[in-house]
Structure formats: C-alpha cells, structure tokens
Structure 1
Amino acid sequence: MSDPSSRARALESQVFDEWPSELRALFDGTALARETGFTASLVTVDANGHLRTSLLSLGELYAPDARTLSFSLWPGARAARALTAQAAKGSARAALTFVHDAAFYQVQLNVDILPDDGELASFQASIDTGELQRVAYARLTGGIAFELADESRDAVLDRWRSQVDRLRLAAQNRRAARGASGD
C-alpha cells in the first residue's frame, strides 16, 4: 500500500522538445509589458570550462516557432563571447532556466550565431530537450525577478520591442535562407 503523503511530495516532471503553448505565447513578443519582471538565466561554458550566467528579460527572447528560441546579448558579454567561441569550433550549447506558472524549466539549447545587426550579438537556438518540474506541496512563486523603474519603463519597453523585432526579422531571414538552400 502506498503512503498518500508520498504522492503529495512527488515530483512532477515533463520532458519536451517543443515549446508548450503557454511558453510559446510567453516568448512571442506580445507579453513584454505584461511580464516585465520575467527573468531567464542563460548558462554557458567559457573557454576555461567555467559556467557563466546571463540574465535575460522577455525583451531579449523570441520564439519564432515551436522548436526555436532567438535571443540577444550585449556583444561584450561573457556568454556572447563563449557562444561565439564554441560556434567557431563547430558546436555551441547553452541552458536556459526560468520559473513560470509555478514550475521550474530547464531547456538545453543548440546555438547558432545570427548575423550581426550592429548593436547586439544575436543567436538562434533549437531545443535539444526541455524539462518542467514542480511539486504538489509547494508552489514556485518566482525565480530571479526584477522591477522596472517608473521613469524608464516606457523607454525600456520601446527598446525591448525593437530588440524583439530585430530577432523576429533575423529569424525570418534565417528561415528563408534555409528554405532557399533546401535545409
């Protein structure tokens, strides 16, 4: 006979290789003003084998389709340099972690460099595997979160919209180029 309390402690885990619909909606560029405090942690490995973390807002993330995530980093960021160096050797990888809707997500990504737009280092990643975890006895209420200062909110949202628009265009151009080459 099983202990009923063990079910209450049980870990719910779901594995995915495509964005669940609620995450696709989160990363489609329309939730910027509604989810200003959302933060994801992008973990990379540098040339010395050290783990590096970059914190990203929704203004730096865009999912052009169910298996892809485009993202932007400052060109001088350690994560941008690490991914660029990995890509030069043939294969760049990263993990994206975040809390959403009371669950913890970790998504393993295969990363490619997008063409330089002159301002940000942009990347497009495909999902290798993703995992959602939650428990019945506790509700995650947040991970790393931030609040925009009132005086800068509109300017930041405008910048984010511009960044997501550039990611959207880069993702469309990449899809068109792959379609033209038969990939």
Structure 2
Amino acid sequence: MTASTDRERALEQDVFDEWPPALRAAFDGTSLETKIGFTASLITRDANGHLRTSLLGVGELYAPDSRTLCLALWPHSRAARALSGGGRAALTFVFDDAFYQVQLDIEPLPGTGGDLACFTGSIDTGEAQRVRYARLTGGITFDLEGERETVLDRWKQQIEHLKKTAGASPGR
C-alpha cells in the first residue's frame, strides 16, 4: 500500500444536503448558554470579488428546518452588505471532531431591518471531514467576559427574531 493510499483511506468525508440531527440540534436556538464558545466562519464575496470572513456564534444562527440556516448579522457588516441582494456563502466550523463546510444559497429575509439584517440560507451541499489519525478538538472558540448575561439576552432576542422572520418567509 502506498503512502497516498494510506492518506486517502484515513480521510473520512460525509456529504449532506440536510443538517445531520446533531447539527440541527446545535442550531435549534435553545440552551444558548451551553453553546457559548462555538464559532463558525461565514465566508462571503464582497463587491470587489475579495473573500471575507465573518465570525458568528450560536446566537446568530438558527436552523428552522433540516435544509435551512437563518443568519442574524449586524446591518452594516461586510457580510450583510455582501449578501444584501442574495448570493452564495460558505459556513465553516469544527463540530463533533470534524471540520464542516456548508455551501449556502442566501436570500434576505423580508421584514427585517433596524438592529439586524436577517438572511435565510438553503443548503446546496455540506461536507464533513475527519481523519483517523487526528481528532479535531476545536476551531475558533471564545469565552464571554464581563457581559455574559447581556450577550446571552441579545442572542435570545436575535434567535426569537429569526424564528419569527423565518416563519413568515414564503415557502415555510
């Protein structure tokens, strides 16, 4: 057996177009205090064609069903501007010892404004990668310092807003 064959067999790749149950539970908008620290990278393309990364926590992500992810972004953020007319984005993160990359088709959610720019993303394709010789123990993570309760309250309000907005979206 060659070295490249060993490496190929060591890589486990799962492809999906619906959230696996454990991930859907992670993005269900509940028990946010137990999910503090989880960070996902949202990768968008700006007007100049540059790829940009925005870091999102569980208080900004909500999966209303098995094929959708709603996002709550600051309205003047680079990601919100890049997605204002719809488009594509990738969400990457570490979860359950694997690296995930999810390709999303994004549309603005109607009726949003003010403090939040809300979007809905349909999963085009998702991929989880693991290797047998190493276990991913984390990606980008964080701790809330000093304003834990304030941030948790804001997240809960954002998730409630996403739930209401996603429920009012056509096709739901």
TM over 0.5, yes or no? yes
What percent identity do the matched residue pairs reach?
Answer: 62
Offset of residue 31 of structure 1: 3.5
Contact preservation (8 Å) 1:16, 1:130 = yes
Larger radius of gyration: 1
- Supply the AA of the counterpart residue of 1:173: A
Q: Does residue 166 of the first structure (1) align with residue 161 of the second (2)?
A: yes
Contact preservation (8 Å) 1:73, 1:120 = yes
- Supply the AA of the counterpart residue of 2:81: R
Offset of residue 172 of structure 1: 0.7
> Which secondary structure state, in structure 2, belongs to the residue aligned with residue 178 of structure 1?
coil
Offset of residue 157 of structure 1: 0.6
> Which secondary structure state, in structure 2, belongs to the residue aligned with residue 33 of structure 1?
helix
> Which secondary structure state, in structure 1, belongs to the residue aligned with residue 103 of structure 2?
strand
Question: In structure 2, what is the Cα distance between the partners aligned to 1:172 and 1:138?
Answer: 40
1:146 to 142, 148, 168: 142
- Supply the AA of the counterpart residue of 2:10: A
TM norm structure 1: 0.88
Partner of 1:79: 79
TM norm structure 2: 0.93
Offset of residue 178 of structure 1: 2.8
1:126 to 122, 129, 133: 122
Question: In structure 2, what is the Cα distance between the partners aligned to 1:62 and 1:54?
Answer: 16
Question: In structure 2, what is the Cα distance between the partners aligned to 1:178 and 1:18?
Answer: 17
Q: Does residue 44 of the first structure (1) align with residue 40 of the second (2)?
A: no
1:29-53 per-residue CA deviation (whole Å, 9 max, x = no partner) reads 1141111000000000011110011
Offset of residue 155 of structure 1: 1.1
1:112-137 per-residue CA deviation (whole Å, 9 max, x = no partner) reads 10122421110000000000000011
Which structure 2 residues correspond to residues 1-183 of structure 1 after superposition, within 5 A? 6=6, 10-85=10-85, 87=86, 92-115=87-110, 116-149=112-145, 151-174=146-169, 177-178=170-171
> Which secondary structure state, in structure 2, belongs to the residue aligned with residue 164 of structure 1?
helix
Contact preservation (8 Å) 1:72, 1:167 = yes
Q: Please, which runs of 5 or more residues in structure 1 have no aligned partner? A: none
Contact preservation (8 Å) 1:28, 1:63 = yes
Question: In structure 2, what is the Cα distance between the partners aligned to 1:135 and 1:9?
Answer: 9
What CA RMSD, in Å, does the superposition of the two structures yield over aligned residues?
Answer: 1.8
> Which secondary structure state, in structure 1, belongs to the residue aligned with residue 83 of structure 2?
helix
- Write out the 4+ residue segments of structure 1 that deviate beyond 3 Å after TM superposition: none
Question: In structure 1, what is the Cα distance between the partners aligned to 2:171 and 2:35?
Answer: 32
Offset of residue 27 of structure 1: 0.1
